[in-house]
Amino acid sequence: METQPDIDALSFEDALRELEDVVRKLESGDVPLDQSIGLYERGDALRQHCQKRLDSAQARIEAIVADRDGNASGTRPFDESPAGA
């Protein structure tokens, strides 16, 4: 039986590739039921890991805020609406 890497140690790209592989195997229909259940559980954990990494990246993205003259005056969180919008 092959050893699977710890999900928390995977980069977003590696986790996404593994998730795509899990989906392909499940969609093929060639996997026994017990193995399908294990693959589904691994896939769900990979999906959660990818979502967590995406959420973390989005929280770190900041938009540049310009003053009336068009000069950069600071930053704001990516998902925060600009003042007066």
Q: Whole-angstrom Cα distance, residue 53 to residue 66?
A: 29
> What domains are there in the chain, each with its CATH number?
7-77 (1.10.287)
Which position has the token pair 């990494």?
A: 53
Whole-structure pTM value: 0.68
pLDDT tens digits for 39-84?
Answer: 999 999 999 999 999 988 877 776 666 667 777 777 776 666 655 5
| CA 53 from centre of chain | 5
Structure tokens given for 57: 């990246």
Residue 7 has pLDDT above 90, yes or no: yes
